[in-house]
Structure 1
């Protein structure tokens, strides 16, 4: 097994990403379509971060920054590749991006019923904010 490769998605990756989310992500979103993901990559080419191992897509995270707040979406790792450090590597890349952009706090939206996701966010140092139903972590600037 070769090392994990972390990189930003390019337009040619989008069909594979959408197919990957059907396998690896918990639920779907109204924006989980080609047009929605194309808009994301066109607006912020570094936001959709991919993890690949041996040329295979094994993980994703969207690290969106609006100039004020840092938002994390679609942290997904292939079910057969979980617990191998892929999610941690993706979050580290996202947090590095946020800090470089001046972000100070990462927010993650996690479905209430997604216990696996909640455990992953907790392990990564994020804590639930019940008032807003999001998970947050203060980043080092």
Structure 2
């Protein structure tokens, strides 16, 4: 009796794992379509731009004054890349963020276009295979 109860418990525990295995794995195309959809989402674009702005900010906080004064004597000892860039363009951080957001949106469009092009390339490959089939047959006959 214990064996039957233990077997039933193991079967019940394994049921979710079996259900997960029954689901087909996403194809590369499915993943590309999900990526394109995500990159075309304004919230994802904003998050991507924020991430890129944050990474750029880390670099911009690099103190370059000790070496940069050789190139430009007006640069102070404690100045960072951000300080120098702000002096040249006070709006550069806003402009960078906007450009980063457009770059993420462009990546979404390029992904969509790549998916659309894949269909055309698949069709071309099928036509080429069909056109080359007689030649392949002649080569294999020898």
Q: Please classify the TM superposition score into its range, dividing by the shorter chain length.
A: under 0.3
Instruction: Select the structure that is richer in strand.
Output: 1
Higher Rg: 2
Instruction: Select the structure that is richer in helix.
Output: 2
TM-score relative to the length of structure 1: 0.19
By relative contact order (CA 8 Å, sep 6+), the higher-ranking structure is: 2
